[in-house]
Copies of this chain bind each other. A is one copy, B any other.
């Protein structure tokens, strides 16, 4: 008995059951289904409970052992030949946005389940255990912070902080975990992880635009979030000549353009977005006295994103000096860039190549549980295209052949990492 690589004949011919995976995705999407074809399964809601019950029931049917930790993260384990080895894990989340889709998160969990079902079908034993996990409250729609379960697991913030988070009705995470029956006994973070893989729809347009099936995710962009306030002087639009105005919006729009310019001048992974704008008093015939807006800067490295920050701040300083209007920029969130484990990334690329799928390097611009897992174990992600790059939307969609391809890549890298026992 020895470890086998993916070149082993049996393993290399192995494929997941695409229609079965698709069927499970559609079944899970019935829980919290919305009229427009999406899903509303907010973290720790009754719908979340029903979703958790469904997935764990499937896991038990597949012979998996289900355990839960104190933040409600669920681990579904297929024993390995050597139970002393840490598990090779697939994971993601099953909570959704209020107007979410069928694929975001769910795909990563059910692809993991499909990998296990495929191993069962073919009686394949792995050397290391194989696990499928889902993490509590990735979306952050009902409780902040986002990526709560994986964040606690990775020690990014404490269990107590997470427990204290409340929804708009004042209910706490701890009480709701208890209410839905998913306040488990395991200490978060003590569950061993040997390797972590997460397959996910891209949630962006790059793969579709390039007509490529597999995105080999090399890392996650650094993010800097700011709130900016430009303060001028509210005045009547009619009686106030241009030279006597202190129009906060006119200054703000120049800075908004610099946010985008900063991304273009720090390509190819630079991003600059103003998503939220509040104009005061927001009246047709009143010159805006105050404009508040968000700034979202991202790039592949912290150095690059901080260069964008500097460019935007220099523009603000220049505008303030030139116009005399006060510009206040406040950092509200900062996430470092995360490079995924090079060997895991290479293994994904190799798997896609072996399977004959078109593939390309990718970066994730959005947050995923894999970012926190990367602090605890070698981790990497697989992207597949989604229709028009749309996600966090009831019309979110993905092609069945892409869904199948991503799961086949997952199968292959998990087997390669866990080792096949012949």
A residues sitting closer than 8 Å to B (CB atoms) are 202-206, 209, 221, 223, 225, 235-242, 244, 247, 249-250, 253-254, 256-257, 260, 263-264, 267-277, 279, 282-288, 294, 296, 298, 364-367, 389-392
Q: Are B203 and A273 in contact (CB under 8 A)?
A: no
Give 4 nearest A-B pairs by CB, closest first.
A204-B239, A238-B365, A237-B273, A253-B253
Minimum Cβ distance to chain B for residue A139 (Å):
12
Q: Are B236 and A204 in contact (CB under 8 A)?
A: yes
How many Å lie between the Cα of A269 and that of B247 in the bound state? Answer: 17
Q: What chain B residues lie within 8 Å of A364 (beta carbons)?
A: 238-239
Minimum Cβ distance to chain B for residue A263 (Å):
5
Find A271's partner among B237, B250, B273, B275 (CB 8 Å cutoff).
B237
Measured CB to CB, the nearest residue on chain B to A226 is B284
How many Å lie between the Cα of A236 and that of B205 in the bound state? Answer: 10
Minimum Cβ distance to chain B for residue A141 (Å):
11
Q: Are A238 and B204 in contact (CB under 8 A)?
A: yes
**Apart from A204-B238, A286-B392: 19 A-B pairs, beta carbons within 8 A:** A235-B390, A236-B365, A237-B273, A237-B296, A237-B298, A239-B366, A240-B365, A240-B389, A242-B263, A244-B389, A247-B260, A249-B274, A253-B257, A273-B285, A275-B279, A275-B282, A275-B283, A276-B282, A277-B279
How many Å lie between the Cα of A168 and that of B284 in the bound state? Answer: 19
Minimum Cβ distance to chain B for residue A149 (Å):
20
Q: What chain B residues lie within 8 Å of A253 (beta carbons)?
A: 253-254, 256-257
Measured CB to CB, the nearest residue on chain B to A259 is B250
Measured CB to CB, the nearest residue on chain B to A225 is B284
How many Å lie between the Cα of A253 and that of B256 in the bound state? Answer: 8
Instruction: Identify 26 residue pairs between A and B in the complex whose beta-carbon atoms are under 8 Å apart, listed by A's number.
Output: A204-B235, A204-B238, A204-B239, A204-B240, A209-B244, A221-B238, A236-B366, A236-B389, A237-B273, A238-B298, A238-B364, A239-B365, A239-B391, A241-B271, A242-B263, A242-B271, A249-B277, A250-B257, A254-B257, A273-B285, A273-B287, A275-B288, A276-B284, A284-B296, A285-B296, A285-B366
